[in-house]
Amino acid sequence: SQKIEQNSEALNIQEGKTATLTCNYTNYSPAYLQWYRQDPGRGPVFLLLIRENEKEKRKERLKVTFDTTLKQSLFHITASQPADSATYLCALKPHLYNQGGKLIFGQGTELSVKP
């Protein structure tokens, strides 16, 4: 069956450390993968997009990697701050879905950064 999975357990880290979140998928052929941030009671906000032919993307303190052999994307936040505390969602765009920008979302990982 097709699945996209993120760590269901919350990730708790100390301020200043690097947070690493994982997104694994099975039985999909992704055209690209996106990462979103969601704060409680609010809509997700787009952070980064990485395409199938890209290994790594960076934006300020954020880095995302994409390994199509392992069928995994890693999302890193360096020098983490308490303001980074939120739920992070990965979303996959399969090649097969050629209607619109239809995305398949993971369930999200909650990140808590302690001062």
Partner 1 sequence: DGGITQSPKYLFRKEGQNVTLSCEQNLNHDAMYWYRQDPGQGLRLIYYSQIVNDFQKGDIAEGYSVSREKKESFPLTVTSAQKNPTAFYLCASSMRAGLSYNEQFFGPGTRLTVL
* Chain residues in the site for partner 1 (CB under 8 A): 4, 8, 31, 34, 41-46, 49, 89, 91, 93, 98-103, 105-108
Distance CA 53, CA 67 (A): 9
User: Smallest distance from the beta carbon of 30 to partner 1, in angstroms?
Assistant: 12
User: Smallest distance from the beta carbon of 15 to partner 1, in angstroms?
Assistant: 26
Please say which residue, 3 or 55, places its beta carbon nearer to partner 1: 3
Helix (H, G, I), strand (E, B) or coil at 16: coil
Strands 19-26, 3-6: pairing kind = antiparallel
Please say which residue, 85 or 106, places its beta carbon nearer to partner 1: 106
DSSP 30-83: EEEEEEEEE-TTS--EEEEEEETT-SEEEETTEEEEEETTTTEEEEEESS--GG
User: Smallest distance from the beta carbon of 12 to partner 1, in angstroms?
Assistant: 17
For residue 104, give the amino acid letter.
I
User: Smallest distance from the beta carbon of 42 to partner 1, in angstroms?
Assistant: 6
Please say which residue, 21 or 91, places its beta carbon nearer to partner 1: 91
Please say which residue, 77 or 91, places its beta carbon nearer to partner 1: 91
Furthest-apart CA pair in the chain: how many Å? Answer: 44
